[in-house]
Homo-oligomer: A and B are copies of this chain.
Amino acid sequence: MKKINGGVTAAKGFKAAGIYAGIKKKKKDMALVYSAVPATVAGTFTTNVVKAAPVKWCQKVIKESETANAVVLNSGVANACTGMEGDKNNLLMAKAVAEYLNISENTVLTASTGVIGKQLPIDVIVHGIKNIIPDLKDSIEAGTMAAEAIMTTDTYLKQWAVEFELNGKTVTIGGMSKGSGMIHPNMATMLGVITTDAAISKELLSDAIRNDVKDSFNMISVDRDTSTNDSLIILANGLAGNEIINQKNEDYKIFCKALNKVTTELAKMMAADGEGATKLLEVQVTGTVTKEDAVMLSKSIITSNLVKSAVFGNDANWGRILCAMGYSGIEFNPDTVDLFIESETGKLQLVKDGMGTDYSEELATRILSSKEVKAIADVKLGDGKATAWGCDLTYDYVKINADYRS
C-alpha cells in the first residue's frame, strides 16, 4: 500500500468539482462527486435523534438502492431542524443533480453542513448545481476543490488516498472530509466521502465501513458534541477490475487495511484541525480487559476539558488524566496505572503504579510543546487497547463558538 496524491478523484472513474455558489460569503460552498459507472454504496450516519434532512435522505437511498452515482454537498447551512420544508429542499437538491446528469434522483446522495435551523437557499443551490456540472473533472485539482468546498471553520482541507494491489490489479481508495466543531462522531464523521475503484459487494462494503469507523472517525472528538449531520459515504465503482470481493477473504482484509489508512488519516486531520486547536492529542490506552474498555477510557481522556486545557498550556497535569479515566465508567485499579507522554522531543513516564514519578517538569513541558503529542496509559489488566484522537481546548475554540453565527 502506498500513499498517493489526491482525494475523491484518485480512484478510476470518479469526477468531482467544488465551486462558490453563493450560500456562504466569498468561499467555496458546493461540491459534487460523480461516477458515471454506478457505484456500490454504503454509509454510516449520526446517531443523534435530531437528524438533518440529508441524513434521512441518504439513509433511505442506501437502504433501497444497490448503487449510487453522485454525492452533492453544501457548506454554510446544515438543513437540520428544518421540518418538511427541509426535506423538500433536500429532494430538490437531489433532483437538480439527477436532471443535469441524466440519472435517477434515487442515485444522488446529499450532505449539508453549517448552521442548524436555517432553510437551505434552494434557488441559490439549484443554480449552483447547474454551474458545477461543467466543472466535473477527474483531476487531482478537481478533488481538491471539492474538499475545499465542504469546509466550514476548518483551517485546511482534508483528503487522503492510497493505492494497493489486489491479485495484480491496482486498486485506489481516496476520500475527503470536513470537521472542526460539533465533532464527536458516533457512527460517522461530520461529512466524509470515500471513493474507490475496487469491486466489492454492497454487503461487504457496508460491513467494511461500519467496522472501520469504530477505529477511525468514531475515535476522535473535538468537543463531545455529536452533530445532527454526521455522514460518511463510500462509493465503489469496480473500475479497478479486481475480482469482486464478496467474501471476507484475504482481498477483503487488504481492502479494509487500505480503507483504514485513508479514514484514520482523515480522522487525525480532523482532530488536529479541531476548532481553535493548536495541537493533535493522541491517547493510547493499553492493558484493558476488553477493547471496549480501552475505547471508553481513551475517549474519556480525549474529551476532558481539563485535560485539553492542560495540553494547551503544556502542563503535565496527569492527575486530570487519571481523573478522566476514573469517571469513564470502566472498572480498573488506579494503583496499577502507568502513564507516559511522548512527542518528537522524547518520551517520559509521569505515573508508575498510580503515583507520580520524580519526572522533570521542564522536560514534560518541552514534550507537550510539540504540534503532536501522545499520552499512553497502561492499566495492566489484559490485552485490550485503543487509540483516540483529539485536540487542545483553547481561547480560540471559545472565540469561534461564541460568535459562530455572526
- Across the interface, do B402 and A117 meet the contact criterion of CB distance under 8 Å? no
Query: Is residue A304 within 8 Å, beta carbon to beta carbon, of the partner chain?
Result: yes
- Determine whether the beta carbon of B354 is less than 8 Å from that of A81: yes
In the complex, A397 Cα to B306 Cα: how many Å? 9
Please give, as numbers and ranges, the residues of chain B lying within 8 Å of A47 by CB-CB distance. Answer: 327
Residues on B with C-beta less than 8 A from A331 are: 49
Q: Are A404 and B304 in contact (CB under 8 A)?
A: no
Q: Is the CB of B49 within 8 A of A181?
A: no
B402 and A225 contacting across the interface, CB-CB below 8 Å: no
Instruction: Report yes or no: B227 in contact with A323, Cβ–Cβ below 8 A.
Output: yes
Which of A133-141, A308-316, A370-378 touches B? A308-316
Q: Tell me, rounded to whole Å, the shortest Cβ–Cβ distance linking A406 to chain B.
A: 7
Given contacts A305-B305, A355-B117, contact A320 B50 (CB under 8 A): no
Does the CB pair B225–A327 fall under 8 Å?
Answer: yes
| A74 within 8 Å of B (CB atoms) | no
Do A323 and B356 touch (CB < 8 A)? no
Q: Which residues of B contact A226 (CB under 8 A)?
A: 323, 326-327
Any chain B CB within 8 A of the CB of A335? Answer: yes
Q: Is B81's CB under 8 angstroms from A322's CB?
A: yes
Residues on B with C-beta less than 8 A from A304 are 223-225
Residues from chain B with Cβ under 8 Å of A353 in the complex: 83
Q: Give the docked Cα–Cα distance between A323 and B310 (Å).
A: 27
Beyond A228-B326, A323-B227, A327-B49, whether A405 also contacts B354 by CB under 8 A is no
Which chain A residues numbered 317 to 369 have a C-beta less than 8 Å away from chain B? 317-320, 322-328, 330-332, 334-335, 351, 353-356
Partner-B contacts on A (CB < 8 A): 47-51, 78, 80-83, 115-118, 181-182, 184, 186, 223-228, 303-306, 309-310, 312-313, 315, 317-320, 322-328, 330-332, 334-335, 351, 353-356, 393-395, 397-406
Q: A49-B328, A309-B400 are in contact. List 11 more A-B contacts (CB 8 A).
A: A48-B326, A50-B326, A81-B354, A115-B319, A116-B320, A116-B323, A117-B351, A117-B355, A227-B323, A309-B404, A317-B404
* The 6 nearest A-B residue pairs measured at CB: A116-B319, A313-B402, A50-B326, A309-B401, A226-B327, A48-B326
8 contacts between A and B (CB under 8 A): A78-B319, A116-B322, A117-B355, A309-B397, A310-B404, A315-B405, A395-B398, A395-B399
